[in-house]
Structure 1
Amino acid sequence: MTAADRVYQIIKKRILDGQYPAGSYVREATIGQELALSRTPIREALRRLVSDGWVEAIPHHGARVVAWTQRDVEEVFELRVLLEPQVVRRAAPRIGAERLATLDDLAERMEALCERGDDASVDEIAQLNNRFHAELVAAADSPRLQRLLETIVQIPVSRRSFHRYTRDELHGSMQHHRELIRALSLGDGEWAASVMRAHILAARAAQLRPAASDEEAREPAFRRRLHRA
């Protein structure tokens, strides 16, 4: 892991943990002094965080943590639950064997990561999950739907959902992927749409879990698993 990788992981974890709340600034000088690093790896890490949507670059002020209110998140999921079932409904009669094989491979890789006991696995699953959903959108062959989803779906919301999943919720998400593949392989658009709706609603429940919930519910799935091992 390079110095920039280390800074990236530290800042991202602090955002997820609430140590850097939405709207706060991540100061290069403060991070550099704390970690005894030059500004070069810190700036590289911040550029990656901007690219991934965790922070935004504010001219003459620095990097600010992207603000997502609960209302914003609720609205995103309300729109996703309308659009993404339609995506798989369209994809069912159009999807080919090659794309189904790709979905199967992505599902298998995510399942393997579920068996690892480290926080980095969460991000790898999130990245593979984004690819899984992108394959579904491509299979739907609807540029209009694709443009709408690209506007609506923000990567940080998706990634935060995975960090908030309990172990059971994470495995449930993997099961949804498998059921989606089965429905699509049979060309059953209504079955696929039903599974996708459940999939999005489960992600919404994890993301919007009240902050006052007990520590056990809030702790990331992989960390809970490590504690119990």
Structure 2
Amino acid sequence: MQASSARSPDDVYLAIKQSLAENRFGAGQYLREEQLAKSLGVSRTPVREALRRLGAEGWVEIRPNYGVRVKAWSLQDAREIFEARLLIEPFLAGRAALNIGATEIERLRALAEQMSAITRQASTPETTEAWFAANGEFHSIITAAAGNARLDRSLTSMKETPLIKWTFDSYNDEHRASSARQHFEIVQALENRNVAWAEAITRCHILAAEKAVLDRYQREHPPA
């Protein structure tokens, strides 16, 4: 991380998150506000706020009376999250195909265009954050349209983790292009009120993300 006297709170948040995403801190390592503030050239206040945000997202664990440490995710964590998504998300997409309105369809199409444009750019913390925000809104619109608030809440809690944000950075150019096409196909399925199609393409979408994440995890954590 490079120091800057003009860093905004969002800059501090993105800088620390980039360091976490690039494994500059080891799993279980404690992060010290004073050291982070010094390395970034800022006060401890924006660092403290960034760590709170990162804790809420699952990047770090905030342990009262001990401090903040890097969250250690296992291969089993990843598999369980994707397994749960595969059970819930296609079902909600199918339900959404029966209920979603024209306004929501248009917003989904705009978000698909936005994500397609992002996939043609180099991967940076900023493009990853932009993709995650657009992708999150895209899938939230669909699951909300399904009309099952309990399943929607369960799914949202699973997706607000570093493992999901990690997905875009795990993609190569071919993966990104495929993901963009799948978003457009999901919109088509919903617009056509085709339950089976919406369920099938959503399932394929999740399976592709799972493979990218698990492949990257195994590359970066080879067996001893």
What TM-score comes out, normalization by structure 2 length? 0.88
Instruction: State yes or no: 1:135 paired with 2:138.
Output: no
Unmatched tracts of structure 2, length 5 or more? 1-5
Distance between the aligned counterparts of 2:196 and 2:100, measured in 1? Answer: 14
Where do residues 143-154 of structure 1 align in structure 2 (5 Å cutoff)?
A: 143-154=149-160
Unmatched tracts of structure 1, length 5 or more? 215-229
Instruction: State yes or no: 1:78 paired with 2:87.
Output: no
Aligned to 1:225: none
Where do residues 91-170 of structure 1 align in structure 2 (5 Å cutoff)?
A: 91-119=96-124, 120-170=126-176
TM-superposition CA deviations, 1:8-29 (whole Å, max 9, x none): 2221112111121332211112
Q: How far did 1:118 drift? A: 4.9
Give the one of 192, 199, 211 matched to 2:205: 199
Give the one of 22, 34, 37 matched to 1:32: 37
Task: Tell which deviates more after alignment, 32-41 or 181-190.
Answer: 32-41
Q: Percent identity?
A: 37
Equivalent position amino acid for 2:90 in 1: P
Query: What is the aligned residue count?
Result: 214
TM-superposition CA deviations, 1:79-115 (whole Å, max 9, x none): 1111111011111111111110111111111112223
Q: How far did 1:68 drift? A: 1.6
Q: How far did 1:140 drift? A: 0.5
TM-superposition CA deviations, 1:131-166 (whole Å, max 9, x none): 111001111111232133134333322101111111
Secondary structure in structure 1 of the residue aligned to 2:69: strand
Distance between the aligned counterparts of 1:108 and 1:41, measured in 2? Answer: 33
Distance between the aligned counterparts of 1:35 and 1:150, measured in 2? Answer: 32
Equivalent position amino acid for 1:161 in 2: T
Equivalent position amino acid for 2:174 in 1: D
Q: How far did 1:44 drift? A: 2.4
